[in-house]
């Protein structure tokens, strides 16, 4: 065949070839069409003395050394790197294409902070999502940014938003330890995640995080990025930003943070909830020491500073938002939306609260509970103080805000007991009685209800002034029957009680529940001469640049009591402080008020006032368990005395408004020679229900007679034109426990 004939066969020889053989089988260079690439053989060296090479094969391959293996490894690594880069670029392009256009990217507004300050300019609290105002990098302690950079991103000022070295270190530790022990995200990446992304642990989120970080680096300086980060990052325990965290953990501004405190804050960023000193102080302290060591290694602090910080660890506040001023802050946050709507930017709320008085009130409540809690079975207390304009000067909603955020001052409705009696007596005075009017303090029975005096003691014929000072239940029940429960309810609502009141005879002993705030507010007209002001806790709301968003411009409220009734009521309630149940409350100022104790000492009250301030105090237990014979004249009167002495220090003494001279006016003589009878609510028909009107809408001129307020004065002055029960009504005293349920059910 042609192919077979054309094929050239070159034999091989085991031995050396001679020249003749070479000539036969070789082709000369000048005869070749294409020049040969074969090198000319070198001249043979003499083979003399050398053993002939046998068995040598032309197909034998050269040996490969270590260098050859390494070279091929480098080659394939280079190839894989190229393909890996192409794949990474593809992923970036893919996920980047799913993001909005970069021209639409913008830094979202920081959640607005609500800075609440007292009337004296002291900070009450910061509220809002961040819980702290924004602080400039130059304003905060310099240790804070240094500590954060040292432990979180030591190449912050040199990378471009994405740190390949840090990422490589994180990946390598992942392979060595089987898990990520070091973070690969820069501070810029963390800020990008906080600003724009959800905390999903996905490749897409990580790619978008890197792209956004690079964009941030292009748009903002390093200091701007660091400042935004420190004002937004979460530090645990509900604290966002360094200002909130500093006040949360140390009770101070970020401007005053020490080196040790800055190290503790920076250490929280790794795991804010787990490392929070409120949860695990030891773990937080150990982490802070690592931060200090990192700062020393990077030359931010010296050995001396390190030693001082180690020897003086950060001191933290006892617990989260433990101060009673936070009850005030909660109340402000409840009222704010109605005043300015939704908060759009950082604002400053000026309140009426005096932080000095607030602290005195809190210390008094806590001290009395600490000293008497186990002995008298009392666990809670509340205090409210209001000036004559209706401004709340102090409000303590409980023993400890950290333990319970429930505001007992403004939200807890409890039975006021005898502290409600002034409204009964006021209704009686408005119908023509006077403090000199006589009643027979004796056991009585109204239906199946027998209202008993405290300790079962009765005084016989007494004036209304004495009956109120000694808090005689029998006389209060008689007056409620005389004027009618509806008249009592109308008087209480007119004075400022907002809770629903049950118009039954038992209301004379304070069976309808009220809050300490509204009961105290209802006493203010006695202190200011008869006017019911608008009770308020917010004076003004402004933006951080001073623009006024709201200002309380309400003037004096409407008159709700005539000057004559004010004078008589104050003369009667002064007796409670001077010689009655509230003698422990007396101090160097003319003062008046009324104690109150609900059944079985479940609630103990004292609400009292001077011409300067009206203050109400309550003690009890959240679960309604009885205290051990605690009355309004005990713990409440002591707390009131302690607070009012401090509140009036340096204030000129002033007399209570109104006046009344004993013996003036027609005497109201009780008739006690009538036959014995058992009374019920039909014995004294209820007073006609007053016309429906807005509470507090009664305006009376200074010279307007008493008859124009409340119900008309009856023509006769003896018992208001109604029969007065003699002392023996109801028979002998029978001591038994009577519950409110008995009263309501008629048992």
- As annotated, the active-site residues are 152, 418
Find where tokens 């702290």 sit. 132
Q: What is the CA radius of gyration of the chain?
A: 45
Cα–Cα distance measured from residue 685 to residue 483, given in angstroms and rounded to the nearest whole number? 9
Q: Which residues partner with 386 through β-bridges?
A: 392, 614
What stretches of 341-378 show up as alpha helix (H) in DSSP? 355-376
What is the phi/psi pair of residue 549, to 5°? -100, -30
Cα–Cα distance measured from residue 142 to residue 306, given in angstroms and rounded to the nearest whole number? 15
Q: Which residues partner with 463 through β-bridges?
A: 438
Helix, strand, or coil (residue 394)? strand
Cα–Cα distance measured from residue 182 to residue 173, given in angstroms and rounded to the nearest whole number? 7
Which helix or strand (DSSP H or E) is residue 491 part of? helix 485-495
Structure tokens that stand for 79 in this block: 């190839």
Q: Which residues partner with 350 through β-bridges?
A: 117, 540
What stretches of 26-142 show up as alpha helix (H) in DSSP? 66-97
What is the end-to-end Cα distance of the chain in Å, rounded?
A: 135
- Taking CA atoms, 172 is separated from 3, 153, 181, 182, in Å, by 62, 17, 10, 10
Number of Cβ within 10 Å of residue 594's Cβ equals 32
> Backbone dihedral region of 519: left (phi > 0), alpha (psi from -120 to 50 degrees) or beta?
alpha
* Count of CA atoms in the C-beta half-sphere (13 A) of 309: 26
Cα–Cα distance measured from residue 286 to residue 307, given in angstroms and rounded to the nearest whole number? 15
Cα–Cα distance measured from residue 192 to residue 169, given in angstroms and rounded to the nearest whole number? 21
Q: Of 334, 372, 483, 375, which Cα lies nearest the Cα of 421?
A: 483
Cα–Cα distance measured from residue 518 to residue 396, given in angstroms and rounded to the nearest whole number? 14
Cα–Cα distance measured from residue 497 to residue 515, given in angstroms and rounded to the nearest whole number? 9
Find where tokens 């002055």 sit. 717
Which helix or strand (DSSP H or E) is residue 222 part of? helix 222-232
CA 272 to chain centre: 19
Q: How long, in residues, is the chain?
A: 747
Number of Cβ within 10 Å of residue 46's Cβ equals 7
Which helix or strand (DSSP H or E) is residue 577 part of? helix 563-578
DSSP category for residue 514: B
Q: Is the dihedral of CA 92, 98, 104, 109 positive or negative?
A: negative
């Amino acid at each position: 065949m042609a192919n077979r004939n054309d094929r050239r066969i070159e034999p091989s020889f085991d031995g050396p070839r001679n020249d003749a053989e070479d000539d036969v089988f070789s082709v000369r260079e000048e005869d070749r069409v294409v020049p040969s690439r074969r090198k000319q053989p070198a001249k043979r060296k003499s083979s003399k003395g050398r053993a002939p090479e046998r068995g040598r094969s032309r197909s034998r391959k050269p040996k490969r050394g270590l260098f050859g293996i390494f070279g091929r490894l480098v080659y394939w690594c280079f190839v894989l790197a190229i393909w890996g880069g192409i794949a990474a670029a593809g992923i970036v392009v893919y996920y980047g294409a799913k993001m909005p256009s970069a021209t639409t990217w913008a830094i979202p507004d920081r959640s607005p902070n609500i800075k609440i300050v007292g009337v004296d300019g002291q900070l009450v609290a910061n509220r809002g999502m961040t819980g702290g105002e924004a602080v400039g990098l130059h304003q905060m302690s310099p240790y804070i940014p240094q500590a954060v950079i040292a432990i979180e991103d030591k190449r912050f000022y040199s990378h471009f938003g994405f740190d390949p070295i840090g990422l490589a270190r994180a990946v390598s530790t992942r392979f060595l330890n089987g898990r990520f022990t070091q973070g690969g995200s820069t501070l810029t990446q963390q800020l990008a995640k906080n600003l724009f992304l959800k905390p999903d642990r996905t490749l897409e989120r990580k790619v978008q995080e890197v792209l956004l970080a690079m964009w941030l680096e292009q748009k903002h300086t390093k200091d701007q990025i660091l400042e935004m980060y420190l004002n937004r990052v979460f530090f645990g325990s509900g604290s966002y930003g360094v200002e909130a965290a500093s006040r949360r953990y140390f009770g101070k501004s970020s401007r005053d943070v020490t080196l040790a405190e800055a190290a503790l804050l920076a250490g929280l960023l790794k795991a804010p909830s787990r490392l929070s000193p409120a949860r695990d102080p030891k773990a937080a302290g150990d982490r802070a020491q690592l931060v200090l060591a990192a700062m020393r290694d990077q030359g931010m602090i010296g050995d001396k500073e390190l030693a001082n910080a180690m020897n003086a660890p950060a001191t933290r506040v006892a617990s989260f938002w433990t101060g009673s001023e936070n009850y005030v802050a909660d109340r402000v946050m409840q009222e704010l939306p109605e005043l300015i709507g939704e908060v759009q930017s950082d604002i400053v709320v000026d309140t009426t609260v005096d932080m000095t008085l607030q602290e005195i009130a809190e210390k008094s409540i806590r001290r009395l509970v600490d000293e008497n809690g186990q002995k008298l079975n009392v666990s809670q207390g509340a205090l409210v103080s209001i000036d004559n304009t209706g401004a709340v000067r102090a409000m303590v909603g409980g023993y400890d805000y950290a333990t319970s955020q429930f505001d007992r001052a403004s939200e807890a409705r409890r039975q006021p007991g005898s502290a409600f009696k002034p409204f009964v007596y006021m209704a009686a005075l408005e119908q023509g009685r006077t403090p000199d009017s006589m009643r027979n303090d004796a056991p009585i029975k109204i239906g199946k209800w027998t209202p008993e005096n405290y300790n079962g003691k009765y005084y016989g014929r007494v004036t209304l002034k004495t009956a109120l000072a000694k808090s005689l239940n029998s006389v209060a029940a008689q007056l409620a029957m005389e004027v009618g429960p509806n008249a009592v309810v109308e008087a209480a609502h007119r004075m400022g009680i907002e809770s629903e009141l049950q118009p039954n005879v038992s209301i004379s002993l304070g069976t309808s529940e009220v809050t300490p705030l509204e009961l105290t507010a209802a006493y203010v007209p006695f202190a200011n001469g008869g006017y019911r002001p608008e009770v308020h806790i917010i004076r003004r709301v402004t933006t951080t640049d001073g623009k006024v968003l709201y200002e309380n411009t309400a003037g004096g409220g409407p008159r709700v009591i005539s000057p004559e009734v004010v004078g008589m009521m104050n003369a009667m309630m002064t007796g409670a402080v001077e010689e009655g149940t509230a003698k422990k409350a007396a101090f160097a100022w003319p003062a008046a008020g009324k104690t109150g104790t609900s059944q079985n000492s479940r609630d103990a009250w004292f609400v009292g006032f001077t011409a300067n301030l009206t203050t109400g105090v309550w003690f009890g237990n959240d679960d309604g368990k009885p205290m051990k014979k605690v009355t309004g004249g005990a713990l409440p009167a002591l707390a009131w005395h302690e607070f009012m002495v401090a509140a009036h220090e340096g204030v000129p003494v002033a007399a209570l408004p109104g006046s009344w001279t004993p013996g003036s006016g027609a005497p109201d003589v009780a008739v006690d020679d009538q036959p014995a009878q058992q009374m019920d609510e039909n014995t004294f028909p209820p007073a006609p229900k007053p016309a429906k009107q807005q509470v507090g809408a009664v305006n009376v001129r200074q010279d307007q007679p008493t008859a124009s307020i409340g119900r008309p004065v009856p023509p006769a002055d003896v018992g208001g034109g109604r029969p007065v029960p003699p002392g023996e009504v109801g028979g002998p005293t029978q001591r038994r426990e009577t519950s409110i349920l008995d009263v309501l059910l008629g048992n």
